[in-house]
Amino acid sequence: MFHPTEDIRIQWTKVVLPPVFLEEERPVSESASATIFETRREIVDILNGRDPRLLVLVGPCSIHDVKAAREYAGLLKKAIDELSAPDHHRLEGPDQRPSSRPVVQD
């Protein structure tokens, strides 16, 4: 007697439409197209050494928990803001309290 051995934990399935249907329903805007084009150009410049910025690729491959994804996005935004601050260097003095004056600050 054969026993079920495949997909035994799957409770339900849902058909996912191919991207072409979404593209028809929600075509890319001119603004989004410009953002994609410009971002790709910037990435090419970074990879070819014409732009000194650091390129960091992060993120989940899929999202199953919307709340966790939003929390992750907030943390990512904070990290991006910190990384993309224009040459902001700060060395703290021996006293780390906010009221103490830094040794160096731009």
Domain count, the chain: 1
* 37 in a structural domain: yes
| 97 domain-assigned | yes
Residue span of the structural domain in which 72 resides: 19-105
Q: pLDDT tens across 80-104, in order? A: 888 776 654 444 444 444 444 444 4
Residue 80 domain-assigned?
Answer: yes
Q: Would residue 10 count as lying in a domain?
A: no
For residue 12, tell me if it sits in a domain: no
Q: Is residue 86 part of a domain?
A: yes
Q: Is residue 72 part of a domain?
A: yes
Residue 6 has pLDDT above 80, yes or no: yes
Kindly state whether residue 99 falls inside one of the protein's structural domains.
Answer: yes
Contact between residue 29 and residue 35 where contact means Cβ atoms under 8 Å apart: no
Per the CB < 8 A criterion, the answer to whether 93 and 100 are in contact is: yes
Q: Which amino acid, 38? A: E
Task: For the chain, give the mean pLDDT.
Answer: 79
Q: How many CA atoms lie within 13 A of 5 on its CB side?
A: 3
pLDDT, mean of residues 62-83? 87
CA distance 71 to 76: 9
Global pTM value? 0.50
